[in-house]
Amino acid sequence: MDSGEEDRVTKTSSDPVAPSGEKAAEPVVWTRGLRMRYGTTDVLRGVDLRVNRGEVLALLGPNGAGKTTTIEILEGFRRRSAGEVRVLGVDPDDGDEAWRARLGVVLQSWRDHGKWRVRELLDHLGRYYAPYGTPHRPRPYDTDELLALVGLTGRGDAVIATLSGGQRRRLDVAVGLVGRPDLLFLDEPTVGFDPQARREFHDLIRRLADLENTSILLTTHDLDEAERLADRITILAGGVIVAEGTAEELARRVSEVAEIRYTLDGRPHTVSVADATAYVRELFARHGEAVGDLEVRRPRLEDVYVAMVREFESGRRTEAPSGLVEAVR
């Protein structure tokens, strides 16, 4: 699994670009030329990733793109084949217990400890984090506070095996949060959530980022979720980053044009214009109340995603479109 180990780039701690220790302005996650090879297959082919403090980054990509592999390398669960990596100022391969205690991980689903009660599990896991608390960031979370945070108030005494799928997922999130992490990894966090649970989860993520300054790296296949939650989005395909930026920046790369639909005296019209506001102003100035059913549609993240991934999967492109990545940096 680590057959590319011999290719590993020598770490250059004196490199002026690489964060050498941890400082407030430095990225919480930083990779350069990250590569991963399984056997003879290159899954990651030179990934440059960055997550800033208090930022929510969504990592998107088709099945098998290497998202989970990337997260596992950053967490220190998997050794990379080559490239430079810093997470909270430390190379994950050298991360000690104190470093690990500052990370929160929400994996696919917590399947163990079915006979335990919810509170028991969180109290138990929380004890591991206690020595790593600081006055600024007390660890672990108070269990009742944590249960309230993830929407499990009243379920503390429930046996884990009796929780519903959505409640189980909330517990997964609680397990990831119990140590009040500086950096939280979420691998497809809302799979199995109903729409209300999804909305509550999104509020929780924004609260963690905005109020607790938690940096969050999440993978998802739900583009609405990425658009709603993430400060920045990175699209991985074919082992490289094919696009990154805010949802708005990415959409603008695909098209500056907005589509406007309306009816005039009941007849439907559709136009594509660069300046939607000016067009609508003019439309009402001319036709006033004869205008109805107005709708302005800008390109969505989904349009960008589908366009980028389709291009890669059709084999027309084998390298990252550096112009696009650079343009939105």
Ligand X SMILES: Nc1ncnc2c1ncn2[C@@H]1O[C@H](COP(=O)(O)OP(=O)(O)OP(=O)(O)O)[C@@H](O)[C@H]1O
User: If binding means CB under 6 A, how many residues of this protein chain bind ligand X?
Assistant: 11
Give CA–CA dist 215/138, Å, rounded. 17
Helix axes 165-177, 118-129, angle to 10 degrees: 20
Query: Does residue 67 bind ligand X (CB under 6 A)?
Result: yes
Contact mark string toward ligand X, 72..111, x via CB under 6 A: ----------------------------------------
Contact mark string toward ligand X, 114..143, x via CB under 6 A: ------------------------------
Nearer to ligand X, 191 or 278 (CB): 191
Query: Does residue 181 bind ligand X (CB under 6 A)?
Result: no
Nearer to ligand X, 79 or 119 (CB): 79
Instruction: Write down the least CB distance from residue 86 to ligand X, Å.
Output: 20
Q: Is the peptide bond before 140 cis (omega within 30 degrees of 0)?
A: yes
Burial of 318 (0-12, 13-18, 19+ CB in 10 A): exposed
Instruction: Write down the least CB distance from residue 82 to ligand X, Å.
Output: 16
Query: Does residue 215 bind ligand X (CB under 6 A)?
Result: no
Closest by Cα among 251, 260, 253 to 303: 251
Query: Does residue 260 bind ligand X (CB under 6 A)?
Result: no
Structure-derived torsion over alpha carbons of residues 188, 193, 196, 200, reported in degrees to the nearest 10: -40
**Phi, psi (degrees; rounded to nearest 5) at 303:** -65, -45
Query: Does residue 69 bind ligand X (CB under 6 A)?
Result: yes
Contact mark string toward ligand X, 25..54, x via CB under 6 A: -------------x----x-----------
Which residues make Cβ contacts (< 8 Å) with residue 175, sequence separation at least 6? 106, 110, 121, 122, 125
Nearer to ligand X, 1 or 278 (CB): 1
Give CA–CA dist 93/34, Å, rounded. 13
Summarize as ranges the residues that interact with ligand X (CB under 6 A): 1, 38, 43, 61, 63-69
